[in-house]
Structure 1
Amino acid sequence: MEEPEVEDDTKSNEDEVDVIDKEVWEHELDDEEFSMKRARASIQGIQKKDMFLNKLCPNDEEEEDPTVEQLPPVYPVHNSEQEWDQMAPVLGMKFTNPSELKHCLTNYAVKHGYDLWYEKNDKNRLLVKCCKGKEPTCPFRLWASWMQEERTFQIKNPKLTLRKMKDQISNTYNIIVSIGQCRNAKKFALSEIEVTLKEHYSRLWDYGTEIKRANPGSTVSMEVDNMPDGSTMFKRFYVCFRGVRDGWVEGCRRVIGIDGWFLKGICKGELLAAVGRDSNNHMFPIGWAVVTVENKETWKWFLDLLMDDIERGNGNGLTILSDGHKGLIEAIKERVPHAEHRLCARHILANFNTRFKGEHFMKPFWKAVKATTKQKHEAAMKEIKELDSRAFDYLMERDPKCYCRAFQVEGVFCDAIENGISESFNAKIVEARHKPIITMLEDIRVYVMQRLYYQRTKGESWDLTICPSIRKKIADLKDKQRFRAVYPCGYQQFEVVLCNDRYAVDLIRRTCGCRRWQLTGIPFVHGVAAISSMNLNSEDYVASCYSKLSVDTK
C-alpha cells in the first residue's frame, strides 16, 4: 500500500447552512446538495490490482484523455448480504450508516492484511488511514460522511486546500513552499486541464449552438462588442433551457427571485440568475446569464429575455424579489411595470444599520416587516419612531410597501420578505464561479439537470397529498392551535381567540383576519384551530400549488 494519494476538488455534500430566521419557514435553504463536478478519476495498474486503491491513489504520471467524454457519476450501493471476503469499498459507495462501512472496512482489511486505523470516528464522519506510526508511511486515506440529499453514508474525496497542499508537500518531499507557490501550482495544473480563457470565449458561439441542437426550444442569446481594430469582445450570454422553463410554467407559483454575483476567476464579470420556488418551497432555477457589468441596461436585457421565455409580458400576475440595486429597480419599473416588486428586508436592514446602530431597533423592525395587517405594522413603526424619529423617516423613505408583509398582494401564495431563495442557488454554484466561462456554465447546467431529476424522482416516491415541508408546517401549527378558543358564528365561520387577539376565519372562502392564509395559501394557526374544531383535515385546505400533483407536472 505505497501508492500515492490524490485529493481532488470535489465539493463535500456535508455543507452546513445556518438558518438565520427560523420563523421565515418557507425560505429555508435546501437540504439538497448535489455534486457539480463530473467524475475525473484516472485508472492505473496497481501491483495488487485493487480497484479501490486505484481510485483513491491514482498514478500522477498518467494523463486523462481529454477526448473521452466524462459522464456524471453513478454511485454503487454496498451489499451487506455478500460474503465477507468479497466486501470492498469503492469511491462513492453508499452505506446505510457508519457501522456498515466500518464492518466492510474490517473485512476488507482482514482479507488483504491492511493496517487501517481511524483518525476521525464519530456518528457523522470517518477518516481512515493506514500504517500508523510506521515507516515508510502510506498516503492512503478514506473519507466518508453523510450525504445531504438523502440519509446515506458515502465514501468521498476530501477537498485539498492550499494549506493541506503545503503541508503534504513539506511532509512528502521535505521542502518548504509558500501558500502563493501552492496557489500558482494549482492554477498551472488546472490550466493543463482547461483550455485557455481566450479559447473559452471563442467557443461560446459553438457552445450556444450545441445547446440549441441538443435541447430544441431552449433560448440562447449572445452579444459581443465590435472594437475599432476589428476584433470582437464578449459582452453577455444568456441561457434558459426549455425543460426548466416548462417546469416552472407548469408547476411553480408566479414568484421569482433575481440576483447577481461577481465571477471569481481571472476574467471578471457578473452572473445573473432568476430562481423560482417549487411546490415543496425549494428553489427552482429558471435562467441565468453572464454579463461584463451589472447595470440598468444589462438587467433590462436579462428581463426582456426572461419575460419572453416565461411568457409574462409586462409582469402582470408576477412577483419579483430582489435586492436594492438601483439599476435593477429601474429596469423592473420599465420592463415589468405591472409586477409586484418586493425588496429584500435583510438588505434594507443592512443599509439601516449603517446609519442607526443598536439592537433595540431589531425587534420593532422585524415586527414591522413581518406584520401581516396594517394595524400591527403601524404599531411596530410607532415603536421605531419613539426610539428615533430619524430611523422612522429613513424606513418610510424606503417605502414599506416594498418590503413589509402588511402590503403584499393576496393570492400569490408566497409571503417572502427576503430573497434567500436566490442566495440558496448562489451557495450551490459558488465554486463554479471560480472557473472559466464554459466550464462554469456547464457546471451550472449539470447541477440544475441533476437537481431537477432527483427532485422529481423523490417527489414521485412521496405517498402524500401535499409536499413534505408544507405537511411539517401544518403539523407545527396543530401543536400551537390547542391554546386557542374557537367560537362558531356562522356556517363554517368562526371566531378564534387567544387572550386579547381575535380573528375571524371563513373556511369556505379560506380567509383569516390575520391574512396569513390569503398570503401563503396555507391555513395559519387560527385556520387550523377552526378546521380541527370540526374534526376536518387541515391538509385539505392547503392551496393546490403545494400538492404532489404540481411536482409531477415538472
Structure 2
Amino acid sequence: MESRAGTNGSAAKNFWNNGSRLSGSGMDYMYIKMEKERVRVKCAKETCPWLIYVAKNSATLSFEFKTFNDEHTCGRDYGNNLADRVWETDKAFKAARETVLGNEKARYEKLRNYMLELHRSNPGSTTNMEVVPFPHSLSLFERIYICLEAYKTGFKAGCKPLIELDGCFLKGYYGGQLLCAVAQDANNHSFGLVHAMKDVMPNVHHRHCVLHIWKNFRQRFKDKQTEGLVWAFFSHFPKNDRTTNNMCEVWNATIVDAREKPILTRLEEIRCTIIKKMANHKWILSSYTEKLAPAQQKRVDKFIKPGCHKWIAQWSGDNNRVLFEITRGKQKLEMNLQQHTCTCNMWQLSGMLCVYAVAAISKLRVRTAEDFVSPLLTMDAIRTTYNVCVKPVNSEEFWKEASQPKPDPPRITRPAGRSKK
C-alpha cells in the first residue's frame, strides 16, 4: 500500500513510532536523503518498491508522511549490516550501564541535592556549582567545586603546606576535565583536598615541576655548587624538596575508573577513595611509637646517619654552641643548629637533616638528631592530620530536594573528524 499526507497513514506512523527499527524486520534499508527537514528511506534492493518519505510542513511546523509504500517484493535477510553483533552488544552494554550507574543526563539534575547532603553530613564543607543561564530554559551545568571539612582541617593541622595541582580528561558521555588538589602528609602519603577545582590560586607562591629542567641543568653544569643554585629559587616554607608533580599523577591513576562514570557516581567514588585512604593510614600508624613518621625515620637511619662520620664538625666557640664548621678535605660548610640552616640548603628546603647537620649534632652530644627535624615530619603531625574524618553520606533516596532549579548537562563538544570509538 502507499500512504500520503492527508490519507490513512497508520502503517507509516506505526513504522516510524517503532523507532524506525530497520534491523528488526529482516529487511535491508538505505537512506536516500537525511536532512534536517526531510528524510527519504528505501529498500536496499533496487527492484523493491518499498519507500518512506517524511518532510516538515512549513505551515504547521510539524513533520508529515508524504509518501509511504509498505509493499516489499524482496525476501527477508537477517544478515542486516545495520545491526551486526557489535552493534547489538554495544546497545546491550549501554542499557546495562544505565541500569547500574544511572542515566548520565539525570545525574546532573541531582547535583544540588548531593551538595545539600554533603553540607548536612559534613558541616563546614565548601561546595559551589556554576551554571550557564538561559532566559527561557534550564541553565547548563558548567563546573562544580567540592572541598569537605575534613580535607581542610587535616591539611591545615599537619600536612606540608604545599598543594599539588593537576588535571585529567573525563571519558564519560559529556566529557570535561577533572582538576584535583593533592597535599602530602608527614609520611609522604597523598592527602586529597579538592576535586573539580575552579581556580589555580593566583595569589600564592607557585612551584613548578622542574624535573626535566633539573636534568638539563645537570648535563650542562657539572659542578655541585652551580647545581645548588637551582634550589635558591625554591621557598623554604613548605619543607618539601619534591621536584616533580608525581603525587597528582599517582592520584589520577587511582581514580582512572571513576573518570568514565556519570558525574554523581564519579564524585562519590572519589570521596569513598579518600575515606579509605585516610582510614587506612590512620589504622596503620596508630601503633607506631617513634618520634618521626616512618618514611622520615627510614630516611634518617638508612641514608643520613651512615654518611655523617665522613665529615668533621668543629665547634666555633659561640656561647650557645650552635655554630659549626663542617669539613672534609678542602670542602667546608657553615652550620647553625639554632636556625636549622646549612650551606647545602637541603635542611632549610626539606626540613630533614642533612649529613652535615648530623655530624654537628653528634659532636654536640646533648640532643638526638630526631629533635632537629621539622615538626611537619613527625608523628605529632600525622596524628593531628588524621584526627578528623569524612563523615558518612546517605544514598540519594534520603537526600532533601534542593529549591534551586535543576541544571541540564553541559553541551557536548565533539572534535572534528570521524569518531575513533
TM-score range, shorter chain: 0.5 to 0.7
Question: Which amino acid is the alignment partner of residue 382 of structure 2?
Answer: V
* 2:348 matches 1:518: yes
* 2:114 matches 1:207: yes
Supply the distance in 1 between the matched residues of 2:222 and 2:180 (Cα, whole angstroms). Answer: 30
Q: Following superposition of structure 1 onto structure 2, how do residues 425-436 of structure 1 map, counting pairs within 5 Å?
A: 425-436=251-262
Supply the distance in 2 between the matched residues of 1:367 and 1:446 (Cα, whole angstroms). Answer: 47
Q: What is the CA deviation profile of residues 384-431 of structure 1, one whole-angstrom value per residue up to 9, with x for unaligned ones?
A: xxxxxxxxxxxxxxxxxxxx4221122431122222222222121111
Supply the distance in 2 between the matched residues of 1:367 and 1:206 (Cα, whole angstroms). Answer: 59
Q: What is the CA deviation profile of residues 335-376 of structure 1, one whole-angstrom value per residue up to 9, with x for unaligned ones?
A: x1xx22111114758xxxxxxxxx9x47426979xx7x6x44
Q: Following superposition of structure 1 onto structure 2, how do residues 186-225 of structure 1 map, counting pairs within 5 Å?
A: 186-225=93-132
> What's the offset of the Cα at 1:185?
5.0
Structure 1 pair 534–223 and aligned structure 2 pair: CA distance change class (3 A): same
Q: Following superposition of structure 1 onto structure 2, how do residues 404-553 of structure 1 map, counting pairs within 5 Å?
A: 404-475=230-301, 476-490=303-317, 491-535=321-365, 536-553=367-384
Supply the distance in 2 between the matched residues of 1:525 and 1:508 (Cα, whole angstroms). Answer: 16
What is the DSSP-based 3-state SS (H/G/I as helix, E as strand, rest coil) of the residue aligned with 2:137?
Answer: coil
Q: 2:173 — aligned with what? A: 266
Supply the distance in 1 between the matched residues of 2:279 and 2:221 (Cα, whole angstroms). Answer: 37
Q: What is the CA deviation profile of residues 142-192 of structure 1, one whole-angstrom value per residue up to 9, with x for unaligned ones?
A: xxxxxxxxxxxxxxxxxxxxxxxxxxxxxxxxxxx9888766654443222
What is the DSSP-based 3-state SS (H/G/I as helix, E as strand, rest coil) of the residue aligned with 2:314?
Answer: strand
Structure 1 pair 272–511 and aligned structure 2 pair: CA distance change class (3 A): same
Quick check: 1:492–1:507 contact (8 Å CA) kept in 2? yes
Q: 2:206 — aligned with what? A: 341
Higher alpha-carbon deviation: 441-450 or 258-267: 258-267
Quick check: 1:411–1:521 contact (8 Å CA) kept in 2? no
Quick check: 1:367–1:377 contact (8 Å CA) kept in 2? no
Q: What is the CA deviation profile of residues 9-64 of structure 1, one whole-angstrom value per residue up to 9, with x for unaligned ones?
A: xxxxxxxxxxxxxxxxxxxxxxxxxxxxxxxxxxxxxxxxxxxxxxxxxxxxxxxx
Structure 1 pair 367–437 and aligned structure 2 pair: CA distance change class (3 A): farther
Give the length in aligned residue pairs. Answer: 297
What is the DSSP-based 3-state SS (H/G/I as helix, E as strand, rest coil) of the residue aligned with 2:207?
Answer: strand
Quick check: 1:279–1:548 contact (8 Å CA) kept in 2? yes
Supply the distance in 2 between the matched residues of 1:509 and 1:207 (Cα, whole angstroms). Answer: 49
Quick check: 1:222–1:237 contact (8 Å CA) kept in 2? yes
Q: What is the CA deviation profile of residues 441-496 of structure 1, one whole-angstrom value per residue up to 9, with x for unaligned ones?
A: 00000011121122222232211111001101111111222222333323243222
What is the DSSP-based 3-state SS (H/G/I as helix, E as strand, rest coil) of the residue aligned with 1:486?
Answer: strand
Quick check: 2:228–2:344 contact (8 Å CA) kept in 1? no
Structure 1 pair 204–364 and aligned structure 2 pair: CA distance change class (3 A): same
Structure 1 pair 347–213 and aligned structure 2 pair: CA distance change class (3 A): farther
What is the DSSP-based 3-state SS (H/G/I as helix, E as strand, rest coil) of the residue aligned with 1:259?
Answer: strand
Q: What is the CA deviation profile of residues 255-300 of structure 1, one whole-angstrom value per residue up to 9, with x for unaligned ones?
A: 111111111222111111111111112211111117xxxxxxx426
Supply the distance in 2 between the matched residues of 1:458 and 1:533 (Cα, whole angstroms). Answer: 36
Supply the distance in 1 between the matched residues of 2:90 and 2:163 (Cα, whole angstroms). Answer: 38
Q: 1:9 — aligned with what? A: none
Question: Which amino acid is the alignment partner of residue 278 of structure 2?
Answer: L
Structure 1 pair 347–492 and aligned structure 2 pair: CA distance change class (3 A): closer
Question: Which amino acid is the alignment partner of residue 544 of structure 1?
Answer: P
> What's the offset of the Cα at 1:522?
1.3
Question: Which amino acid is the alignment partner of residue 295 of structure 2?
Answer: S
Quick check: 2:186–2:379 contact (8 Å CA) kept in 1? yes
Supply the distance in 1 between the matched residues of 2:278 and 2:267 (Cα, whole angstroms). Answer: 17
Question: Which amino acid is the alignment partner of residue 250 of structure 2?
Answer: S
Quick check: 1:221–1:238 contact (8 Å CA) kept in 2? yes
Question: Which amino acid is the alignment partner of residue 355 of structure 2?
Answer: V
Supply the distance in 2 between the matched residues of 1:348 and 1:430 (Cα, whole angstroms). Answer: 28
* Identical columns (%): 31
Supply the distance in 1 between the matched residues of 2:165 and 2:137 (Cα, whole angstroms). Answer: 35
Supply the distance in 2 between the matched residues of 1:438 and 1:367 (Cα, whole angstroms). Answer: 52
Supply the distance in 1 between the matched residues of 2:87 and 2:218 (Cα, whole angstroms). Answer: 45
What is the DSSP-based 3-state SS (H/G/I as helix, E as strand, rest coil) of the residue aligned with 1:285?
Answer: strand
What is the DSSP-based 3-state SS (H/G/I as helix, E as strand, rest coil) of the residue aligned with 1:231?
Answer: strand
What is the DSSP-based 3-state SS (H/G/I as helix, E as strand, rest coil) of the residue aligned with 1:482?
Answer: helix
Task: Give 5+ residue unaligned stretches, structure 1.
Answer: 1-176, 291-297, 304-331, 350-358, 379-403
Structure 1 pair 478–347 and aligned structure 2 pair: CA distance change class (3 A): closer
Q: Following superposition of structure 1 onto structure 2, how do residues 89-488 of structure 1 map, counting pairs within 5 Å?
A: 186-227=93-134, 229-289=136-196, 298-299=198-199, 303=201, 332=202, 336=203, 339-346=204-211, 361=216, 363-364=218-219, 375-377=226-228, 404-475=230-301, 476-488=303-315
Q: What is the CA deviation profile of residues 72-128 of structure 1, one whole-angstrom value per residue up to 9, with x for unaligned ones?
A: xxxxxxxxxxxxxxxxxxxxxxxxxxxxxxxxxxxxxxxxxxxxxxxxxxxxxxxxx
Structure 1 pair 530–205 and aligned structure 2 pair: CA distance change class (3 A): same
> What's the offset of the Cα at 1:251?
1.4
Question: Which amino acid is the alignment partner of residue 374 of structure 2?
Answer: A
Q: What is the CA deviation profile of residues 183-222 of structure 1, one whole-angstrom value per residue up to 9, with x for unaligned ones?
A: 6654443222111111111111111111111111111111
Q: 2:58 — aligned with what? A: none
Structure 1 pair 548–233 and aligned structure 2 pair: CA distance change class (3 A): same
Supply the distance in 2 between the matched residues of 1:541 and 1:486 (Cα, whole angstroms). Answer: 16
What is the DSSP-based 3-state SS (H/G/I as helix, E as strand, rest coil) of the residue aligned with 2:114?
Answer: helix
What is the DSSP-based 3-state SS (H/G/I as helix, E as strand, rest coil) of the residue aligned with 1:223?
Answer: strand
Quick check: 2:130–2:141 contact (8 Å CA) kept in 1? yes
Supply the distance in 2 between the matched residues of 1:366 and 1:239 (Cα, whole angstroms). Answer: 45
> What's the offset of the Cα at 1:241?
0.6
Supply the distance in 2 between the matched residues of 1:366 and 1:551 (Cα, whole angstroms). Answer: 39
Structure 1 pair 178–473 and aligned structure 2 pair: CA distance change class (3 A): farther
The structure number with the bigger radius of gyration is: 2
Q: What is the root-mean-square deviation in Å for CA atoms of aligned residues? A: 2.7
